[in-house]
Amino acid sequence: MTSKKTPSNNIISNTRNKTKKLSNDFNLFLASKSKTESPYNKIVLFSTFLMLLIGIYFFSVFSDDFEQFNASRMKSTIGLTFIVLATILFAFKASFFIYKAYNYYNYKPVDSVSDKELPTVTVIVPAYNEGKQVWDTLMSLDNSHYPKHKIQIISIDDGSMDDTWDWMQDAKTKLGDRLEIYQQPENQGKRHALYRGFNLGTGDIYITVDSDSIVTEDTLRNLVSPFVKDEQCGAVAGNIRVLNNKKEILPKMLDVSFVMSFEFVRSAESNLNSVLCTPGALAAYRSTAVHKCLPQWINQTFMGQPSDIGEDRAMTNMILKQGKHVLFQQNAVAYTNVPEEYLGLYKMFIRWGRSNVRENLEMAKYVFTNFRAKGKAGTRVLFISQFLKILMSYPLLISMLFFVIVHPLLFLGSTMVSILIASSFSVLFFANQYKSTEGFWAYTYSILFTFGLFWITPYAIATANRRGWLTRGLAEKK
């Protein structure tokens, strides 16, 4: 007599197999020398999961305290108001996540058009104190599968104090007429270097590439193809991965974070024709859209001071304001260097945070107007989500500190459980995209961000008027 497996037995069997595979993959991940070259990395991973387990234990032990804590707050007007607002915020966040997931599911990158259809492009590479890295960037651009008669490559040295100009000259010697190099009389900032490039460019499409980024052979043609397919397309964001992620911990964590930020978040935004930020590392703009806002962009100020940060977000904002579509190309990949130490990381995040505050305020001026013929609702939902992060940063900070003081162990437990639940999506998403266990770094990154970078947004809001690049050797100006 042949035995038949019931559906419940199949589910249990599949679950066991998946759990066993995940466990085996994680063990291989810890044992792999190629993926975690430093023993310190393994210690950090082990510590991450130890902290998560301790957190789960604390949460289970003090779960009754958690219920009593909420019950006591319900008795006061302030406490009740906080719980109601927190519930509404959670409901919005959950709904917004489902909304993003729906748009991600419906997103599809544009396939590359033929050589005949490809537009003429000007690639602009501003450089400051990059040394040999700018040479590598220029070589990767020249190796692109793009018709040579349709591409103009311009690199501008923004007053570097190292041997960047020497490497640019060496690249010029090798590439000849395929490369134009220029030197600013003094360091004026990335925005001014790009401005010079925009005015020198002859292509129908401007492509901006950071001087510490490497592109693949098909990156450029994939990046500009949406302009051919969509006449309303004003800008396209590239897909950014981390270049220096082979050894150090922070780049490994940021690589997982970038995959979520670009391949999930920007894919969803692209389906709404409203990517909010085209990255400086790799982006493309229709030249007519750029020149329409170029005077405003180069002369942009915030609280009476010239804007010398957030040039990518500002350009994106101004093109969205024109009613143009801003898209994302998952198949247009660039690999860029990121900070390897905490000092460089938090400075980079502060710069991004200040730019986010400034540009959200600018976006608020037009997003609820008739800035686009159709498809405005999605853009507005994206803006509301962004603005809520800013609006709620101080209340959340205060409530977090209050929670720490009142019941530190319960705070640790509930926070770790939240990280485990939320970050598991990042782990699974990364594994699905790249069939890799590197996604486990999402847990470590979430712990770092929660306990080591929680202050970034409140600080960025309080210091939004400050200038300075922070990570390129330029002094911060008040």
Per-residue pLDDT tens over the stretch 294-322? 999 999 999 999 998 999 999 999 999 99
- Tell me, what's the pLDDT at 471? 64
- Tell me, what's the pLDDT at 17? 57
Most confident of 23-32, 135-144, 469-478: 135-144
Range name among 342-346, 365-369, 405-409 with the lowest pLDDT average: 405-409
**Amino acid at position 318, single letter:** M
Separation between Cα atoms, residue 229 and residue 313, nearest integer Å: 24
Place of tokens 């995040």: 349
Q: Quickly list DSSP for 104-152.
A: HHT--PPPP--TTTPPPEEEEEEESS-TTHHHHHHHHHHTSSS-GGGEE
Q: Answer whether residue 437 shows pLDDT above 80.
A: yes
pLDDT above 90 as % of the chain: 78
Long-range contacts of 385-388 (CB under 8 A, 24+ apart): 385/92, 385/96, 386/276, 386/356, 386/360, 387/360, 388/89, 388/92
Of the candidates 415, 94, 93, 438, the one whose C-alpha atom is nearest the C-alpha of residue 256 is 438
The more confident residue out of 42 and 417 is 417
Separation between Cα atoms, residue 209 and residue 243, nearest integer Å: 14
Q: Answer whether residue 19 shows pLDDT above 80.
A: no
Per-residue pLDDT tens over the stretch 144-172? 999 999 999 999 999 999 999 999 999 99
Tokens of 197: 């490039």
- Tell me, what's the pLDDT at 475? 40
Mean pLDDT of 80-96: 88
Separation between Cα atoms, residue 418 and residue 450, nearest integer Å: 11
- Tell me, what's the pLDDT at 28? 52
How far, in Å, are 90, 391, 467 from residue 422 at the CA level?
13, 22, 34
Separation between Cα atoms, residue 363 and residue 96, nearest integer Å: 19
pLDDT above 70 as % of the chain: 90
| Position 468 confidence tier, pLDDT thresholds 50, 70, 90 | confident
- CA angle 246-261-370, nearest 5°? 155
Tokens of 425: 């999506």
| Position 8 confidence tier, pLDDT thresholds 50, 70, 90 | very low
Total number of residues shown for the chain: 478
**pTM of structure:** 0.88
Of the candidates 183, 204, 252, 196, the one whose C-alpha atom is nearest the C-alpha of residue 29 is 252
- Tell me, what's the pLDDT at 48? 96
- Tell me, what's the pLDDT at 2? 43
Separation between Cα atoms, residue 29 and residue 18, nearest integer Å: 16
- Tell me, what's the pLDDT at 84? 85
How far, in Å, are 16, 23, 334, 410 from residue 34 at the CA level?
28, 19, 22, 38
Mean pLDDT score across all residues of the chain: 90
Per-residue pLDDT tens over the stretch 91-144? 999 999 999 999 999 999 999 999 999 999 999 999 999 999 999 999 999 999
Of the candidates 419, 369, 363, 414, the one whose C-alpha atom is nearest the C-alpha of residue 390 is 363
- Tell me, what's the pLDDT at 40? 85
Mean pLDDT of 386-406: 92
